[in-house]
Amino acid sequence: MTRESCLNVVLMGLLLAVPLAAWALDEPFIITLTTRAVIFAIAGVGLNLALGFGGLVSFGHAAFFGLGGYAMGILAYHAQTYTPLMDWPFVIEGTKSMLVIWPVAIVASGLAALAIGALSLRTSGVYFIMITLAFGQMFFYFTISWSAYGGEDGLSIYVRNSFPGLNTMDPIQFFAICYGLLLLVLWGVHRMANASFGLALRAARQNEERLQAVGQVPYRLYLTAFAISGAITGLAGALFADLNRFVSPSMLSWQTSGEIMVFVILGGVGRVYGPVAGAALFILLEHTLGGLSPYWHVYLGAILLGVVLFARGGIFGLLAGREVAHD
Amino acid sequence: MSWILLVEQALNGLQFGVMLFLMAAGLTLIFGVMGLINLAHGSLYMVGAFAAAAVAAATGSFVLALIASLAAAALAGVLIEATIIRRLYDRDHLDQVLATFALILIFSEGTRWAFGSFPLFLDRPEALSGTVSLPFGIEYSRYRLALIGVGLAVAAGLFWMIAKTRVGIRIRAGENDREMIAALGVDISRLYTLVFALGAALAGLAGALIGAIQSVQVGMGEPVLILAFVVIVIGGIGSVQGALVGAILVGLTDTLGGFLLPKAFALFLSPAAATSVGSSLASMSIYILMAGVLLVRPKGLFGGA
């Protein structure tokens, strides 16, 4: 076992042990806090696929996070008001079932990522950063002016959506669902990263010309990675909206894009489990520093600055050593 | 009269555009010369506005307030350039984005700590209050007209400086080949600090000038920053001409879109539906413009091949 996989096991174990201990001690707040970290971790794992493996610095992932949130918000809103989503050409009813909401969130944000990616990938470097940021803002302003679904005020859902056999309003059961999904996503991304697709994607990041010379099309690889990345972040958005039973345009704000990026960087770019460590550390900082001072973002900024300037590679870089170039 | 309203909206768009240019010019110069993407540019805009509001409240003089905004933003620029930004020139864009994102957090919360969360107000100078009569019976805000004048004058001065002066020649040389001008004996790190301070001062000036129309508050810089990004992406990153053209295009699209689109949809939709569809499309219009430009020219209108 390498140090990195040791770290992975310890990390996932801690993430499971903390809420279980909180459950035994009857501390639902800690469980909810950990659930937040798990959901952010899923969003970060999604972004990491594009950013870490593909080298695509997307500053617009809040759009996919928010789209997932609105997919859940809109479906549940129609279900709780007993109004159909649309009645022409055929009737579509709202739903409170997570098993329907998740695929809708994944498909909607995946398709949006496909469209945004197809346009944005015509550019590269700084242009790519800025154009993804601008597309994110476009969705943000759209949701603000979308008065049918609450506009600036957002949408509230009275009861958390349902999952067969579980009581989702119980914090530990909802945590179990999120943790299960995180494991599933991590397994999928791990498989993808080591399959020929992932290897080709990493090769594209390192040297596009060489990859082209062996007959691969970088654009297609990037676009696939970007769409899958958006879809995973969309799933996290649906869970996040369910956790809060509330969705609003702030989920799509550019600060959210920045925060998702911070999870990836704090943890370690290009490590499958990196964003999990990053999201957990972020929540820990938010909780401890936020208790110290209402201006805790100053400290967060200082820590982030320190990581970027002096500790490249994030937590995984510090604890597991430099990334191994040849497996 | 609807066309008088249209001319007024076009002037508003122009005014917005020249103010965006003040932001975008600094961003594009900093990128062109140092290869740095600076998210904290919006914070310098905010620093300028707060400095102006504080000095105006203490002295009552708008001119002193403007001088303070230039000085404070330039000083803040020099300070972060010398301590942090300088280490980022050789890093990749991801590191630059994150470090300057961290700077935004520090600037915003620091300002909130120093000035509180409530917006400050900066009054327009007495001499520029009220409206001015233009030909064809158009009444227009004297202050906004002055902003157009100041913006265009700064743009002209910047073009003159880049085209004619020694500093401008060095800036252009720095864009083309850093190693070469360093080899020719130009102190490159001083040039970098100078360019950064210049960009910061322009952002601070824009913050103070706009602060007198809107309120001065924490977080005021970021919406403008994102629009300035759209401007330089449309114009071509590194090109000051591109920034001017892009800024005016974005200013006009944003203002006229908000004015004309609801009216256009009212031709074939019910008034309520037209307002909601028109205004949501209008809020997205500049991003649609940007996507359109990049489809035709992925490097922007004035970007290199």
Tell me which of A104 and A214 has the higher pLDDT.
A104
Is pLDDT of A45 > 90? yes
Cβ pair B288:A138 closer than 8 A: yes
Residue whose entry in the numeric block shows the structure tokens 């489990």: A273
Is pLDDT of A324 > 80? no
Q: How confident is the model over B236-249, as a mean pLDDT? A: 89
pLDDT winner (highest mean) among A57-71, A86-100, A254-268, A287-301? A57-71
Structure confidence at residue B192 (pLDDT) = 87
Q: How far apart are CA B253 and CA B10, in angstroms?
A: 9
Residue pair A95/A107 in contact (Cβ under 8 Å)? The answer is no
DSSP state at residue A54: T
User: Given CB atoms, is B297 within the 8 Å cutoff of chain A?
Assistant: no
Shortest distance between the Cα of B299 and any Cα of chain A, in A, equals 7
Chain A environment of B113 (Cβ under 8 Å): 295, 298
Structure confidence at residue A186 (pLDDT) = 95
Is pLDDT of A200 > 80? yes
Structure confidence at residue A241 (pLDDT) = 94
User: Given CB atoms, is B283 within the 8 Å cutoff of chain A?
Assistant: yes
Average pLDDT, chain A: 88
Outline where A55-206 has alpha helix (H): 62-81, 98-120, 125-145, 171-194, 196-206
Q: How far apart are CA B44 and CA B23, in angstroms?
A: 10
Q: How confident is the model over A267-277, as a mean pLDDT? A: 88
Structure confidence at residue B103 (pLDDT) = 92
Among chain B residues, CA nearest to A126: B93
- Is A31 domain-assigned? yes
pLDDT band for position B181 (cuts 50, 70, 90): confident
Is pLDDT of B305 > 50? no
Among chain A residues, CA nearest to B31: A126
Is pLDDT of A326 > 50? no
Chain B environment of A125 (Cβ under 8 Å): 93
DSSP string of chain B, one letter each residue: -HHHHHHHHHHHHHHHHHHHHHHHHHHHHHHHHH----TTHHHHHHHHHHHHHHHHHHH--HHHHHHHHHHHHHHHHHHHHHHTGGGGTTS-HHHHHHHHHHHHHHHHHHHHHHH-SSPB--PPPGGG-SEEEEGGGEEEEHHHHHHHHHHHHHHHHHHHHHHHSHHHHHHHHHHH-HHHHHHTT--HHHHHHHHHHHHHHHHHHHHHHHHTTS-B-TT-HHHHHHHHHHHHHHH-TT-HHHHHHHHHHHHHHHHHHHHHHHHHHHTTS-HHHHHHHHHHHHHHHHHHHHHHHHHH-TT-TTS--
- Is A327 domain-assigned? no
Structure confidence at residue A1 (pLDDT) = 65
Is pLDDT of B136 > 90? no
pLDDT band for position A323 (cuts 50, 70, 90): low
Cβ pair B226:A133 closer than 8 A: yes
B35 Cα distance to chain centroid:
18
CB contacts < 8 A (A, B): 118
Structure confidence at residue A322 (pLDDT) = 63
Pick the range with the lowest mean pLDDT from A95-109, A114-128, B121-135, B170-184.
Answer: B121-135
End-to-end CA distance of chain A: 13
Shortest distance between the Cα of B110 and any Cα of chain A, in A, equals 7
φ, ψ dihedrals at B88, nearest 5°: -100, -10
Mutation test of the interface with chain B: which of A53, A269, A286, A297, choosing the one with the most B Cβ atoms within 10 A?
Answer: A297
Among chain A residues, CA nearest to B90: A309
In this complex, the residue of B98, B229, B294 whose CB is nearest that of residue A308 is B98
Structure confidence at residue B220 (pLDDT) = 87
User: Nearest CA to B98 among A295, A261, A43, A127?
Assistant: A261
- Is A139 domain-assigned? yes
- Is A325 domain-assigned? no
At B151, which amino acid appears? G
User: Given CB atoms, is B233 within the 8 Å cutoff of chain A?
Assistant: yes
User: Given CB atoms, is B291 within the 8 Å cutoff of chain A?
Assistant: yes
Mutation test of the interface with chain B: which of A58, A257, A305, A312, choosing the one with the most B Cβ atoms within 10 A?
Answer: A305
Chain A environment of B93 (Cβ under 8 Å): 57, 125-126, 129
pLDDT winner (highest mean) among A164-168, B40-44, B292-296? B40-44
List of residues 6+ apart from B83 with CB closer than 8 A = none
Chain B environment of A122 (Cβ under 8 Å): 294-295, 298
Cβ pair B101:A57 closer than 8 A: no
- Is A326 domain-assigned? no
Q: How confident is the model over B175-187, as a mean pLDDT? A: 81
- Is A107 domain-assigned? yes
Q: How far apart are CA B132 and CA A284, in angstroms?
A: 57
* pLDDT tens readout for residues B260-290: 887 787 787 777 777 777 777 777 888 888 8
Its sign, for the CA torsion B24, A123, A139, B291, is positive
Residue pair B42/B222 in contact (Cβ under 8 Å)? The answer is yes
CATH number at residue A298: 1.10.3470
User: Given CB atoms, is B275 within the 8 Å cutoff of chain A?
Assistant: no
Tell me which of A223 and B127 has the higher pLDDT.
A223
Structure confidence at residue B1 (pLDDT) = 52
List of residues 6+ apart from B56 with CB closer than 8 A = B62, B64, B65, B122, B123
Pick the range with the lowest mean pLDDT from A65-79, A250-264, B75-89, B137-151.
Answer: B137-151
φ, ψ dihedrals at A124, nearest 5°: -150, 175
Residue whose entry in the numeric block shows the structure tokens 């007209």: B145
Cβ pair A145:B276 closer than 8 A: yes
Chain A environment of B97 (Cβ under 8 Å): 57, 59, 129, 261
Among chain B residues, CA nearest to A261: B98
Cβ pair B233:A127 closer than 8 A: yes
* pLDDT tens readout for residues A75-96: 998 888 888 877 767 777 788 8
Cβ pair A131:B290 closer than 8 A: yes
Domain ranges of chain B: 2-218
Structure confidence at residue B304 (pLDDT) = 64
- Is A290 domain-assigned? yes
Cβ pair B98:A147 closer than 8 A: no
Average pLDDT, chain B: 86
Q: What is the tally of structural domains in chain A? A: 1
Could you tell me the CA-to-CA distances from B273 to A154, A233, B261, B287 in Å, in that order?
20, 32, 12, 22
Q: How far apart are CA B218 and CA B107, in angstroms?
A: 9
In this complex, the residue of A127, A135, A312 whose CB is nearest that of residue B287 is A135
What is the number of helices (H) and of strands (E) in chain A?
A: 13, 4
User: Given CB atoms, is B272 within the 8 Å cutoff of chain A?
Assistant: no
Pick the range with the lowest mean pLDDT from A32-41, A177-186, B140-149.
Answer: B140-149
